[in-house]
Every structure is written in structure tokens, then in C-alpha cells.
């Protein structure tokens, strides 16, 4: 059987590494090329020596990918750069899965507000599907442009969307206090990712209404609820490599147990969502190196908020694993193929 | 000049080690004894080899401290045990500084509710002073029983109390999402403090209204506000040794800048409180190994909550450093003596 | 096709967890039971909540395994306990894979010297095969008793055995300076595995000629060389969960490049040995969560020693992965089945 | 009393921070300026927010230090750059303490061999004193140019020099296997100091005869022994912020106990050297955040090497603490002033 051929743009990133790791084990897909602006000409194993003997391809320049006739292109490029590179590829009719934020926001003005740059191809936005497959699986099957969700949004939207879609639920304020590992900040060199700065430390950043992921969180919550929702969101940096733990406070007219029932019903057949008991708070390590999203509902006593604790691996379910799950859906593979449990 | 003599009960704990570390550098105080039930007869340096050549005393049994005529006794014993041991010492007229929770709660029924055991000496509770010196300095000077505040409460109360004391402030819900290092769980062996369980992990525990520190947080907030306040409090375990970062969400009728002004006025002369700018969010490492509490106020835009980020070292300002600061006040030393900056 | 049925003794350990993780993905094997003295009656997921939805079996008592007719039993029990439990199982004709040290040492007096207890079944020792499959593959195929090598020995023996087997090689002193993650010390509670004691720390222990793994290292080196060899071995504890890095100093009559050639020839067809270039020193993270052993040879200039740097994951190639590789050989599966790369 | 005035070049480094931290607590010294090429014009607290309220000076340009009449200049600049900047300062008659390698090597050809650049002022080398104060205290008192030893060399030389100076000792090969925290690599951005690359990892680098610190180790060992000595030296990177642990293997005609006696005699009155018992192997955490060097001697059984385990904090005794200890000696302060224990 002919394999689905795949190209990866910006493959020298942590998400690129994770994609390659999984794809080499995929029985129906084959990596055709990996590209990297700054590492072109070097073997993948020079950047990632752990892949010695497993994947030894040479990085090509992004420009050299132009004529490549592959079935699917993953982009691990930064936002703005990503849409520019993907535009001609999309126009060639190649299906793309974009791990950047470029195709997540439906309204190009909202995109420009948060990302401080005009969108490179606003005319293509209507063709993009938000790749939270538990909620958009049908649209994903035929998507030409798959906008893979952000890591924080994935951890927050999965436990909240079933509630917001439920007619009988009334939600007031939503506060998400999220804790992320350092790989979420990428492999680029910056002082805030220097080992000595992060080790032994815990810190908050971009708290309130300033982190870019608010755009897609608000968008998807609002679509589900059928009204405008504005979240309060406080990301934190934790001294671990991977994982996000989101603790979410909901002013809501349901008990934690009722929320759990709604989620259990919504996710009954989902292979990568694990709704836990209220007393069984998920840890980051329960989901590290896997494609699971684990969460539970608790609190809500004495008039206090219902509290959601939600965990994912930011590089897998929060990025490359979710992207591969989407590829599996788009190309008709069994959905769990090559995804770590 | 005669030195103030000091005994330390339960000195084989992390808080005991920190007390000893600071006291050996105190020009006006002298450690008379260290006691430990399970390590009596052994040198301090067998438990803490880093103290080799600095403090080589032998642990005595708690029972052997009975006749010791010291000026001040610190207790690092667990709750319930602590009050039982301190009772006869207090009755001898020795001034005590209790790092356990036993003398923090004014109402013995509230104590029993949270700590699941009757108080050992409820008749002494009226003599106890809550040792948050920035708010009880006058009472501390003459205290016979000093109830040293808990670590989480210290990080939460210091930024909130000035606001609650202010007549013009109206506060609705308060949510504190706190992140602590592992030393807060003590040196006792348990699976949840095993290296392999904690490293690479981030987790929540006792979220909502179930952690014992809620008793003293609610009590002090309510006293300051002059009405009943019930906090939502979610502690988290971080893979670091020391430090607490509390992110606190306030529904309040003031801006972040106004909150800052109130705090700056309240703490103008405090040697160990640093009110930072709204954009200068404190990190745990800014205060690690010091007696500082750093915090700032931000958020409050578009109807969202004002957000406080507050940091302390749980073993210093959250325990032994605050205890020593209280000793300095009680015995007339310069308040900053022997306290790390 | 009928699956190979498997029982796991002492499955509440970290090596038990890793075995289960791999076996649930093995197409030809099926876990029949997991046993644990102290956790019998509890679900596996109470001890390892990450396995929720993946493996939910209940632990049985070791005694309850007596009548179970399985094809293969893995023992993750501690030494001495392991041989006692395995003896009747072996006598029933069930093939066993012992992850403890009990069947590694050929001479029961040497065993008693190092493990301070007489061997439980010395009469069975002649049936045991040392499970370093790269050197004993033929014997492993038909082994009734498979003695799975220790973690440190695996990292040291793999790069050294080809040299010692080579007639033209003369080796003088061998010094192995090894660094291990904390999971090597097991899940048992002890102060030396307490998070606060290990984090931010690096330490040596049992240096020189005192660590028990010396018994099997000396034995295998001596067999390969055809003469008595006594290694100097210094283990160190590193603040990471997994992995061993061994830096080995060889007084030898070959250059590093010649050593490399010998190893490349010896391991040409090995799926889990990666001989790296002299300048490409392996890191622990290159092999973490995989069954690889990576090493290289360097140094040897100006009369100095040849230096080997060798890396494994102590829980995979150093324990459960190697055990599963041995099971694959013993039961005729493709050798790489279910083993992580 | 007039305070000793101090300038710090390259103060935006980790060693600069540590120097400032200690100097603000020094009763007899005062920081006159801190300089930084890339941060001139910014407050110290922008780079090191932990110093808010403690030390708020503005960085000046190195060029602006020209006319400053201070008593002592510390240089935390990189090698080669350091000597160039210090040359005119030395010629003004200001006493300098250089934390770089530039004045450590007596022979400028050896310097050029290891540092790949000609020395900027070879004519000044004869005036430089190697600042290992336990062995050069007399020369340090009057030194104009103090060459502060490297971190690895300090951990290796302190336990070895007394042995090499002893007539009756014969030493063959010396192998030092050293493990360092990441702060030893400085605050400069590089992939090998990126959090995600180091966390969960352990690795070796520059093993054998390739690390630059070999130059000063060989030099000082050879001077002490009165003959040429060439060490084998293998540094390793550990995922901790601070600390060095050196495990050293000695072929020697003495027992570990005899080595210990020699060291005890040599260091009887040293305030910052702690010779431990053979069974009391030092940990990095015993010396972290202090100016101590802890070590012990063990091994030497059955013809094996004597093994030294030695620990320092690379930023304190291995850099800034040792530099301050040298300043105290040079300017007649009590030697322990402002140095952490």
C-alpha cells in the first residue's frame, strides 16, 4: 500500500522532534522531508543525537520544499512565518496541519490584535478547521487547513466545552490558573529558558488578559456557549520539561458531580480523554509522554466555585500528538495509530 | 552581656535546621538545647552533616527538657503534640514560639474541626498572639505564647490584610491558587515526597475548602474585614525544595494601582516586605533563602479580577525566619538580626 | 494464536510498572497476574494512577500465585526474597526471569559474601543464564532461569566485554565512575530518596570495592578475559529520575579507535547497542525511556587511559526492557517486540 | 573608618551577582561601581530582581571605569578580555582580583596553547599570585595581581596539594572525574545551558586531556610535587544550579587514613576546609551557598586506588567567595568576613 507522504517545516523544534519520533513508528505514513532555515544541510541527528540510527535525514531549506509533492505538510514554524510559508503549499492543493496559531483565529482582526501583525492570507481562514478533534472531528475529516490548537487552550477547552454546550448550564466568571513546563517556550535561546534561571524557581507571567492564547480560548468558549465569554488566564512557568496543569475556577449552576456526568457523556468514546473522579486529581506525570488529556471536577461546596484540574503533555496532546491524531482522521487511519498511551 | 538562651523542640525537622542555621549567627542568642524524640543521643551533624564544624550538639529527649531554664522555647513539633509539650513549659513562665498550628486558631471548636482532635490546653489560647509581626507587632512584644503563622497563610495574608482593613474596600470572592516546594511537607517519609514521584511532576491537592490552613486564613481575613470571609484555596506541589508562589484572584472595587498604594502605605517601614510594581511579578527565587515576602498587584482590566502574585521562602518567612523575627521583637533585639536578606 | 501468559511478582515496584507498560503493548503476550505483598487487593491504578484505563488489574498476594499455570514469571522482588519465591515456581517447570541479583552469581559463596545471606536454592544456580543477551543469546533461548543483569553492570559490561574477549587486548586497571538516577534505589521510602534530600544535590556512595554490583561485574569481566579481574567502582546519585552514565577509565594497549572497531564488529547486528563516535559522548537523555545502550571510546592520548562513556535507562535496558528482550528471545518473538526506541 | 572601595567588571554574570551579595554585607568594603558592556545604563535590579531594595546601582560601561580611583577591582570578565581591561588598571597601581584564567598560568606559551590566543600582558605574569589562599596566603597579602583559581581546580587541588608536598608520598596516575552544576557555564545563552536540554540529563564533556582547567591543575600539582604531573580530567554536567563534586582516583603509596592525617595537619587552622572521615563522603549540598571545601579520603583496599571525594560551591569557594577571601587577606580584614558558612 502506498504510504501517506509527509513534510515537516520547522522540524528543528521540540514539536518537530516529537512529530518525527511518532511518525517513524507510523505504519501508513512516511516522512518525505524535514526543513529548517538555520540547520539546512545538517543531519537531523546533529540537532537531536538521540535519533541516531532511527532517523538520519538531512534538513533542507524551507525554500527547497516548494516543488515537493507530498500528501500532508506539518508546520512547526512560528506564527506569521507559518502562514506565509503554507500559503503556496495550500494553493497547490496539499493538505496542511499548522501547529502555529495562524489559522486558529477566525476573525483576522482579532488575529492582528493579539499577534501584532496582519494575517498573511486572510482569504484562507474560512477553510481552516480548529483541530480539537473531540469537537470538530467531522470537519477535520475533509479539512484542507488544519489549525492545531495551542497547548494551554487544549488543557482548558476539553473540560469546559461540554459544559458550555449544555443548555441548562449557566456559567459566570472563568479563571484558569495554568502551570507549564519549559518546552512550551520552545528551543530558542532566551534568558527565561536558561537552566539556572528556571531550576529551583516558580513564576507567573502574562497574567490576566495578556497571553495570546486567550484569543482562541475565548473564541471556542464563545462558540460553544453561543455568547461572548472572556476568560481570566494566568500562565505559570514550572521547572519541568513537559506538561501543563490547569486549575480552573468556575462560577456555575451545577455541582462538580453534575459537570462530571456531562463530560463523561460527551467523551464516552474518546480514546485520549480520561475523566477522573473528583477525588482523583490528575498529575502532570499521569499524562507525560502520552496523548491523554486527564481532568476531573471538584469543589463547589459552600457556594465556592467548581474547580477543574486538567493535565496534558504540552508537546504531545498539546501539540504534535494532537496534530498526528488529526492527520490520522484526515487521512483515514485508525485514530490512535502511532500515538503514545 | 548575658545571651538569651533558647531551646528547640523537634529540631530534627527542616524548620529546626533553618532555626539552628540562623541562631548560630545571632550575636545575642545562644542555643541551650535541641531535642528530638527519634534522634536523641545522636549529634545534630549526623542528621545534618552540612553543620559539621558549625553546630555539633547532641539531641536530647523532649522529656529531658523539663527542668531546663531557658528564656525562649521554639517548637517545631507537629500539631497536637506541640501544645501538649509546650503546656508545662508555658506554665513555668518560659516564653514560647510555636511553629505548629496549635495556638493559631482562637476558637478551640474551629481548631478541633480542622485538626480532628481536641485542643490540649484551650485555656491558654487567649494568651496566644498570632505572629504575623507586620500586623501584631505591639502584641508580640509582650507575648508569652507566640503562634507562628503557617507558610501558605503568610504568603496570602500579607498582600490581603491591608486591603481588608481599608474601609473603602469591598471584596467579593477570594481565590488563592498556591504553589509550594516539597520541604513544606516536612522530612517525614511518605510516597508523595519520594524524589521519583515529585520530579518532572506538578500536581494539585486539597483544593477548594479542605486544606487546614484555611482556618487561620479565614480567621485573620475576617478579623481584618470585620465580617466573615471564606476563601477558596488550592495548594499545589511543585518540584522544588523551597518557596511558595500564591496567585490570588480578588473581586474588588479597586484597581491594582490603588491596591498597591494601600499596601505601600501599610508596609512603608517593614524590613521584610517588598511591594513590587504591577509588571514586576515576583519569582520564588527572588525570595528563596531570605526572609522577604515579595508581592505585586496586577490585572483588574475589563471587569476581570485584580490578581496578586506573592512569594516567600516557606522555610524562612513562612516558618523559621518569621519565628526568629518574632523572637527578636519579643526579646528587644534589632528586628533584622541574623535574618537572611 | 495463543498468547504467552505472564505473571509478575513484586509488581508494585518501578520495574514492575515499566514491565506492565511494555507488556500491554506486546501482541504475543498477556499479563495473567500481578502480585504484591503490601498492596494485594488494590487495583494497579491506585498505586500507578497513570495506568487508568490501560491496566486495571487487582494485585494478588504472592502466595496466591502458587497454582497459576503461566508460561513465564517475572520477579521484581528484592534479592533473597526473590529466590525463595521463585524456587517452587521453577520446580513446577515455569520459566522465570528474575530481575533481582539472586541468580546472577555463579558461586553461592560469592553470593553470600556480597549479599550477607545464604542462597535459597544453590542447587538451581547451574541452570541460570546471565541475561546479557548480546553475549548469551544462544543460552537464553532455552533458559529455564534467566538472571537479568543489574543496571550498573549492564552499562559497564556492554562496552567492556568485546575488548576483554579479544586476545590481543591487554587491560590493566579498570575504574568505573557511574552516575545513576534515583529510581535505581526503588520505590521504598528512605531518607536518601526524599525529594528535598536529593534535589540540588550530587553525591557518591559505596565507592571503591563495596557496592554489591561488583560481584557480577567482576564475574563477567573475568569470564570474558579468562583471568581474575577486580574493578574499582564508584556509584553516584544524580538528581534525575532515570538513567545511568558510566565513565570508565581503562589502562589498555589499544587506542580508542581500535576499541571502537572491536565493539562495532561485536555489535554489528545488535538492535539496542549504539556505538557512537569518540567525539559524540552519549547523554543520559539519548537513551532515557528506551532500550538502547549507547557508548563511545575516547581519550588514550599522551599515555592517559582510554575513556568509555556509556549510557542506559536504568529501568529499561538496565532492568525491565532487558528482561522483556530476554522474554522475546526465550519465547521466540521478534527480539524488538514492544521495546521502546 | 574609611572603607575599602571596590569596582566590579563584568558584574552582570553569576559570579558578579554573588560578589555583590556578599560585599553589601561586608562592614569594611563598599562597592564603588559595577560595569557591564551589554547592560550599561540599566539598574542592577533589572538583571537581578532579587536584589530589589538591596543593591540598586546602575551598570556603567567598562570604559567609564578608567578614571575611578578605587582600592580594588574584581574582574568577572571572560578570559582574554579580562587581561586587556585589567592592564591599565594594574598600571595605575590599583590591586586587582581576576576571576578569569588570564593570570593563573605562569608560562604565557602554556596559556596560549590552552586559550588559543596570545596573552595580553605577559610582562605582568610574574607579579600574579595564584589565589589558592590555603597554599599562597603569604604571597597574597602583598599581591598586586590576584589570579583567582578556577572552580574545578579548587575542588581538585585542595585535597591533593598536601599529599604532593609531602616528601614520603609517591603518586602515579591521577584521574579526576568531576561533576558540576550549570552555573559553571555562565549566564551566556547557549543550547547546552537551555533548561530542556539539561533537565533530566547527565553528560560528560571535554574528557581526558582537553578541558582548559588542566593547565592550572597540572601547573600547581607539578609545583607542589617538584616534578611534571599530567592529570586525566573528565568534567560532567549535572542538572543542578551550583556545586562541584570531584571523585579523584590516586595511585599512591599511602592508605586513605594516612592521606587524611596529612591533610588534617595541613589544614588544621583553615576556616573553610573541612576534612571529613573516610566514611562521611561529602555531598554537594553540604557546601552549597557556602565558602567551604569539604573532602575525604577512602578506598585503597586490595591494591585499588585511594579515592578522594571533594565538594565545593562553584560560585562561592570556586569563584566569588574565594575571591572575597583573597580580598580580605590582601586588605587586612578578618579572613572570614562576609563569607557564608
Rg of chain C, C-alpha, whole Å: 19
The average pLDDT across B181-208 equals 97
Distance, CA of B87 to CA of D126 (rounded, Å):
69
Q: Cα–chain-centroid distance for residue B209?
A: 20
Q: How confident is the model at residue A24 (pLDDT cuts 50, 70, 90)?
A: very high
SS (H, E, C) B104-171: CCCCHHHHHHHHCCCCCCHHHHHHEEECCHHHHHHHHHCCCEEECCCHHHHHHHHHHHHHHHCCCCCE
Distance, CA of B146 to CA of B330 (rounded, Å):
9
Q: Is the pLDDT of residue A191 over 90?
A: yes
Residues in chain D within 8 Å Cβ distance of C297: none
Output DSSP code: residue D3.
Answer: P
Residues in chain D within 8 Å Cβ distance of C191: none
> CA-nearest residue of chain B to A235?
B247
A181 compared with B66, residue with greater pLDDT: A181
Give the gap in angstroms from C-alpha D233 to the nearest C-alpha of chain C.
10
Backbone angles phi, psi at D104, to 5 degrees: -85, -30
Write down the pLDDT at residue C1.
74
Instruction: Name, in order, each residue with C-beta under 8 angstroms of A84's C-beta and a sequence gap of 6 or more.
Output: A120, A121
Write down the pLDDT at residue D59.
98
- What percent of chain B clears pLDDT 70, i.e. is strictly above it? 100
Q: Across the interface, do B196 and C14 touch by the CB < 8 Å criterion? A: yes
Give the gap in angstroms from C-alpha A289 to the nearest C-alpha of chain C.
10
What is the set of active-site residues of C?
A: 151
pLDDT in tens, A38-85: 999 999 999 999 999 999 999 999 989 988 999 999 999 999 999 999
- What percent of chain B clears pLDDT 90, i.e. is strictly above it? 98
- Residue of B201, B250, B300 to mutate, interface with A, max A Cβ within 10 Å: B201
Give the gap in angstroms from C-alpha A175 to the nearest C-alpha of chain B.
8
Residues in chain B within 8 Å Cβ distance of C48: none
Write down the pLDDT at residue D303.
87
Q: Is the pLDDT of residue A161 over 90?
A: yes
What is the set of active-site residues of D?
A: 151
Q: Is the pLDDT of residue B231 over 90?
A: yes
Sheet strand arrangement including C171-180: C203-204, C232-237, C171-180, C244-252, C306-312, C293-299, C273-275
Write down the pLDDT at residue A303.
87
Considering chain B, what is the average pLDDT of its residues?
Answer: 97
Alpha helices (runs of H) in chain D, residue ranges in sequence order? 14-23, 44-47, 81-91, 108-115, 133-141, 151-165, 195-198, 213-225, 256-266, 284-287, 321-330
pLDDT in tens, C265-298: 999 999 999 999 999 999 999 999 999 999 999 9
pLDDT in tens, C317-332: 999 999 999 999 999 9
Q: Work out the burial of residue C110: count CB atoms within 10 Å of its CB; fewer than 13 is exposed, 13-18 middle, 19 or more buried.
A: middle
Q: Across the interface, do A195 and D190 touch by the CB < 8 Å criterion? A: no
Q: Using an 8 Å Cβ cutoff, are D302 and C209 in contact?
A: yes
Give the gap in angstroms from C-alpha C182 to the nearest C-alpha of chain B.
6
Distance, CA of A129 to CA of A134 (rounded, Å):
13
Q: Which domains does chain C have, with CATH numbers?
A: 4-149+318-330 (3.40.50.720), 152-313 (3.30.360.10)
Instruction: Name, in order, each residue with C-beta under 8 angstroms of D318's C-beta and a sequence gap of 6 or more.
Output: D150, D151, D152, D154, D155, D184, D244, D312
Write down the pLDDT at residue D302.
84
CA-nearest of B67, B112, B86 to B10 is: B86
Q: Across the interface, do D193 and A190 touch by the CB < 8 Å criterion? A: no
Distance, CA of A171 to CA of A158 (rounded, Å):
16
Residues in chain B within 8 Å Cβ distance of C189: 189-191, 194
Q: How many CB atoms lie within 10 A of CB B24?
A: 15
SS (H, E, C) A278-297: CCCCCCHHHHCCCCCEEEEE
Write down the pLDDT at residue B318.
98
Write down the pLDDT at residue B294.
98
Residues in chain D within 8 Å Cβ distance of B274: 52-53
Considering chain A, what is the average pLDDT of its residues?
Answer: 97
- Residue of C152, C193, C195, C202 to mutate, interface with D, max D Cβ within 10 Å: C202
Q: How confident is the model at residue B303 (pLDDT cuts 50, 70, 90)?
A: confident
Q: Is the pLDDT of residue B1 over 80?
A: no
The average pLDDT across D181-192 equals 97
pTM over 0.80: yes
> CA-nearest residue of chain D to A13?
D196
Q: Which among D52, D286, D294 has the least Cβ separation from residue B274?
A: D52
pLDDT in tens, C1-24: 799 999 999 999 999 999 999 999
Q: Across the interface, do D199 and A240 touch by the CB < 8 Å criterion? A: yes
Q: Cα–chain-centroid distance for residue C78?
A: 14
Output DSSP code: residue D214.
Answer: H
The average pLDDT across B264-285 equals 97
- Residue of A193, A196, A285 to mutate, interface with D, max D Cβ within 10 Å: A196
Distance, CA of D283 to CA of C197 (rounded, Å):
10
Cα-Cα-Cα-Cα torsion D275, D278, D283, D285, nearest 10 degrees, comes to: -40
Q: Is the pLDDT of residue D211 over 90?
A: yes
Instruction: Name, in order, each residue with C-beta under 8 angstroms of A59's C-beta and a sequence gap of 6 or more.
Output: A11, A12, A34, A35, A36, A39, A40, A41, A42, A43, A44, A47
Q: Work out the burial of residue B53: count CB atoms within 10 Å of its CB; fewer than 13 is exposed, 13-18 middle, 19 or more buried.
A: middle
Catalytic option among B151, B259, B293, B296 = B151
The average pLDDT across A239-244 equals 98
Write down the pLDDT at residue A203.
98
Total beta-carbon pairs less than 8 A apart between chain A and chain C: 32
Q: Across the interface, do B283 and D200 touch by the CB < 8 Å criterion? A: no
Q: Across the interface, do A207 and B307 touch by the CB < 8 Å criterion? A: yes
Q: Using an 8 Å Cβ cutoff, are C152 and C236 in contact?
A: no
Q: Across the interface, do C50 and A287 touch by the CB < 8 Å criterion? A: yes
Extended strands (E) in chain B: 4-9, 29-34, 72-75, 95-98, 128-130, 145-147, 171-180, 203-204, 232-237, 244-252, 273-275, 293-299, 306-312
Q: How confident is the model at residue D66 (pLDDT cuts 50, 70, 90)?
A: confident
CA-nearest of D174, D245, D242 to D208 is: D174
pLDDT in tens, D16-35: 999 999 999 999 999 999 99
Write down the pLDDT at residue A1.
73
Write down the pLDDT at residue A162.
98
pLDDT in tens, A168-190: 999 999 999 999 999 999 999 99
Output DSSP code: residue C99.
Answer: -
The average pLDDT across A102-116 equals 98
Write down the pLDDT at residue D245.
98
Catalytic option among A121, A151, A259, A296 = A151
Write down the pLDDT at residue C307.
98
Q: Is the pLDDT of residue B302 over 90?
A: no
Distance, CA of A83 to CA of A88 (rounded, Å):
9
Write down the pLDDT at residue C127.
97
Q: Which among A181, A283, A301 has the least Cβ separation from residue B209?
A: A301
Write down the pLDDT at residue C303.
87
The average pLDDT across A110-128 equals 97
pLDDT in tens, C118-153: 999 999 999 999 999 999 999 999 999 999 999 999
Give the gap in angstroms from C-alpha A129 to the nearest C-alpha of chain D.
31
Amino acid at each position: 500500500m502506498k504510504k501517506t507522504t509527509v513534510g515537516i517545516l520547522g522540524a528543528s523544534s521540540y514539536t518537530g522532534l516529537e512529530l518525527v519520533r511518532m511518525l517513524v513508528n507510523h505504519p501508513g505514513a512516511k516522512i518525505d522531508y524535514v526543513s529548517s532555515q538555520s540547520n539546512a544541510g545538517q543531519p537531523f541527528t546533529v540537532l537531536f543525537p538521540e535519533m541516531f540510527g532511527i532517523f538520519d535525514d538531512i534538513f533542507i531549506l524551507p525554500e527547497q520544499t516548494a516543488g515537493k509533492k507530498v500528501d500532508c505538510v506539518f508546520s512547526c514554524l512560528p506564527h506569521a512565518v507559518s502562514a506565509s510559508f503554507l500559503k503556496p503549499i495550500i494553493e497547490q492543493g496539499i493538505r496542511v496541519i499548522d501547529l502555529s496559531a495562524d489559522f486558529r483565529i477566525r476573525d483576522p482582526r482579532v488575529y492582528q490584535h493579539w499577534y501584532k501583525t496582519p494575517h498573511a492570507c486572510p482569504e484562507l481562514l474560512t477553510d481552516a478547521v480548529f483541530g480539537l478533534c473531540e469537537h470538530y472531528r467531522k470537519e477535520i475529516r475533509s479539512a484542507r487547513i488544519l489549525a492545531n490548537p495551542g497547548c494551554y487552550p487544549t488543557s482548558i477547552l476539553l473540560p469546559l466545552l461540554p459544559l458550555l454546550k449544555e443548555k441548562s448550564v449557566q456559567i459566570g466568571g472563568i479563571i484558569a490558573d495554568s502551570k507549564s513546563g519549559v518546552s512550551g517556550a520552545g528551543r530558542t535561546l532566551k534568558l527565561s529558558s536558561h537552566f539556572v534561571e528556571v531550576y529551583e524557581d516558580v513564576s507567573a507571567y502574562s497574567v490576566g488578559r495578556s497571553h495570546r492564547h486567550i484569543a482562541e480560548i475565548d473564541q471556542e468558549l464563545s462558540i460553544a456557549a453561543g455568547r461572548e465569554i472572556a476568560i481570566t488566564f494566568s500562565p505559570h512557568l514550572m521547572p519541568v520539561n513537559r506538561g501543563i496543569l490547569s486549575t480552573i475556577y468556575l462560577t456555575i449552576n451545577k455541582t462538580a458531580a453534575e459537570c462530571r456526568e456531562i463530560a463523561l457523556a460527551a467523551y464516552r468514546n474518546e480514546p485520549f480523554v480520561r475523566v477522573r473522579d473528583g477525588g482523583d486529581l490528575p498529575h502532570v506525570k499521569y499524562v507525560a509522554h502520552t496523548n491523554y488529556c486527564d481532568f476531573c471536577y471538584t469543589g463547589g461546596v459552600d457556594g465556592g466555585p467548581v474547580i477543574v484540574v486538567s493535565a496534558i503533555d504540552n508537546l504531545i496532546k498539546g501539540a504534535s500528538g494532537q496534530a498526528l491524531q488529526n492527520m490520522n482522521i484526515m487521512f483515514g487511519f485508525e485514530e490512535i495509530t502511532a500515538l503514545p498511551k
